[in-house]
Protein backbone atom coordinates (compact mmCIF):
# COMPACT_ATOMS: atom_id res chain seq x y z
CA UNK A 1 0.00 0.00 0.00
CA UNK A 2 2.76 2.45 0.91
CA UNK A 3 4.74 1.55 -2.18
CA UNK A 4 1.70 2.12 -4.38
CA UNK A 5 1.23 5.59 -2.93
CA UNK A 6 4.93 6.34 -3.34
CA UNK A 7 4.85 5.34 -6.99
CA UNK A 8 1.67 7.33 -7.67
CA UNK A 9 3.14 10.45 -6.07
CA UNK A 10 6.43 10.04 -7.93
CA UNK A 11 4.69 9.47 -11.25
CA UNK A 12 2.50 12.51 -10.71
CA UNK A 13 5.63 14.64 -10.49
CA UNK A 14 6.90 13.35 -13.84
CA UNK A 15 3.51 13.06 -15.58
CA UNK A 16 4.48 15.37 -18.46
CA UNK A 17 7.90 13.78 -18.95
CA UNK A 18 8.64 11.19 -21.65
CA UNK A 19 7.88 7.53 -21.00
CA UNK A 20 11.55 6.70 -20.54
CA UNK A 21 11.80 9.17 -17.65
CA UNK A 22 8.64 7.75 -16.07
CA UNK A 23 9.96 4.20 -16.42
CA UNK A 24 13.32 5.24 -14.95
CA UNK A 25 11.57 6.78 -11.95
CA UNK A 26 9.55 3.61 -11.29
CA UNK A 27 12.65 1.44 -11.68
CA UNK A 28 14.60 3.69 -9.32
CA UNK A 29 11.86 3.55 -6.70
CA UNK A 30 11.66 -0.23 -7.02
CA UNK A 31 15.41 -0.60 -6.50
CA UNK A 32 15.51 1.75 -3.50
CA UNK A 33 12.50 0.15 -1.84
CA UNK A 34 13.84 -3.36 -2.42
CA UNK A 35 17.17 -2.45 -0.85
CA UNK A 36 15.32 -0.80 2.03
CA UNK A 37 13.11 -3.80 2.73
CA UNK A 38 15.97 -6.29 2.53
CA UNK A 39 18.05 -4.01 4.75
CA UNK A 40 15.27 -3.87 7.33
CA UNK A 41 14.90 -7.66 7.30
CA UNK A 42 18.68 -8.07 7.62
CA UNK A 43 18.62 -5.73 10.62
CA UNK A 44 15.87 -7.74 12.29
CA UNK A 45 17.79 -10.97 11.71
CA UNK A 46 20.95 -9.39 13.16
CA UNK A 47 19.00 -8.29 16.25
CA UNK A 48 17.71 -11.84 16.65
CA UNK A 49 21.26 -13.23 16.31
CA UNK A 50 22.50 -10.70 18.86
CA UNK A 51 19.77 -11.69 21.30
CA UNK A 52 20.67 -15.37 20.89
CA UNK A 53 24.34 -14.57 21.46
CA UNK A 54 23.59 -12.56 24.60
CA UNK A 55 21.32 -15.33 25.92
CA UNK A 56 24.07 -17.92 25.41
CA UNK A 57 26.65 -15.65 27.06
CA UNK A 58 24.36 -15.11 30.06
CA UNK A 59 23.79 -18.87 30.38
CA UNK A 60 27.53 -19.63 30.39
CA UNK A 61 28.25 -16.91 32.99
CA UNK A 62 25.82 -18.27 35.57
Do residues 26 and 10 make contact, with C-beta atoms less than 8 angstroms apart?
yes
Domain boundaries, the chain: 2-61
For the question of whether the overall pTM of this predicted structure is more than 0.85, the answer is no
Given a cut of 70, whether residue 2 has pLDDT beyond it is no
Tell me the per-residue pLDDT of 8-42, one tens digit each, with 9 for 90 and over.
Answer: 888 888 989 999 999 999 899 889 988 999 999 99
Amino acid sequence: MLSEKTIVIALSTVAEKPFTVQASVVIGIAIVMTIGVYGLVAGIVKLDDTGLYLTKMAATNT
